[in-house]
Structure 1
Amino acid sequence: MSRPEHTAPPEIFYNDDEAKKYTVNTRIQTIQAELTYRAMELLNLENDVPKYLLDIGCGSGLSGDCLSEDGHIWVGLDISDAMLGVARERESEGDLYWSDIGQGVFFRPGTFDGCISISVIQWLCNADRSSHVPKKRLLRFFQTLYTAMARGARCVFQFYPENSDQVEMIVTQAMKAGFTGGIVVDFPNSTKAKKYFLCLFAGFQNDPANAPKLPEGLAEEEDPANVLYTSKRMHDRRKGKKANIKDKNWIQRKKELGRIRGKKVANDSKYTGRKRGPKF
Structure 2
Amino acid sequence: MSVAKKDYKKVTTKSLIDMKANGEKISMLTCYDYSMAKVLEAGGVDVMLVGDSASNVMAGHETTLPITLDQMIYHASSVVRGVERALVVVDLPFGTYQSDPKEALRSAIRIMKESGAHAVKLEGGHEVKDGIKRILGAGIPVMGHLGLTPQSIYKFGTYTVRAKGDEEADQLIQDAKMLEKVGCFALVLEKIPAALAKKVAESISIPVIGIGAGNGVDGQVLVVHDMIGLTHEFNPRFLRRYLNIYDQMKEAVSQYVSDVKSVDFPNEQEQY
Give the TM-score normalised by structure 2: 0.36
Q: Of Structure 1 and Structure 2, which has the larger fraction of its residues in helix?
A: 2
